[in-house]
Amino acid sequence: MFSRISKIENLSIKTLIFSSTLQIGDSSCIESYADVFAVQRQVPVYLGKEAEVLPYRIFSSPAVFLPIVEPVTTFFINSQPFIDVRSINIIGVSASSVVSAGNTGHAYMQSRVKHIRQLLNGRRAIKNGPDSTSIQTNGSQPS
């Protein structure tokens, strides 16, 4: 299949969190999912268990993938057997991401992110803004 070899002289990663993977060597398949529910509150009150079930459509709707429909016959001529990288410096790898040094067969990555901000009511809550009591909404609350 593939014949090139990845040669990395120096690889530095500071942080790997939230099910991220550092893969050294070949792999036949990479499959990765990340569902992220990011809530920012003006007052840092988090009850801890409120997001065990995520009733938003973004998390249940089918993922949009470009299907592999056309059969493609590929021919590779590798006149140099190595992919040479002198140094890689990565600060953070997060949320089911994959750093892979080596060849892979099939890679399938999927992410869904929902952001919500919650602010308090009243004039003091938003400075220099319109009267915030007039833009009340709860449109994103689960029905």
Partner 1 sequence: MVFNVTNCGLNVGSIDVIGISSAALFLIGDADTIQLSSAFDTPPESLIIGALVPFVPQG
Report 73-92 residues binding partner 1 (CB under 8 A): 73-80, 82-92
Select 45 or 127, whichever has its Cβ closest to partner 1. 45
Q: How far apart are CA 84 and CA 90, in angstroms?
A: 17
- 125 in contact with partner 1 (CB under 8 A): yes
Q: How far apart are CA 1 and CA 75, in angstroms?
A: 10
CB of 127 to partner 1, least distance (A): 14
- 69 in contact with partner 1 (CB under 8 A): no
- 50 in contact with partner 1 (CB under 8 A): yes
Tokens of 25: 């060597």
* Residue whose structure tokens are 């057997």: 81
With CB under 8 A as the contact rule, the residue among 60, 128, 141, 143 that binds partner 1 is 141
Question: Are 142 and 56 a contacting pair, CB within 8 Å?
Answer: yes
With CB under 8 A as the contact rule, the residue among 60, 124, 128, 137 that binds partner 1 is 137
b (16+ CB within 10 A) / e for 39-53: eeeeeeeeeeeeeee
- 131 in contact with partner 1 (CB under 8 A): no
Binding mask 8-37 for partner 1 (x = CB under 8 A): x-----------x-----x---x-xxx-x-
Question: Are 22 and 13 a contacting pair, CB within 8 Å?
Answer: yes
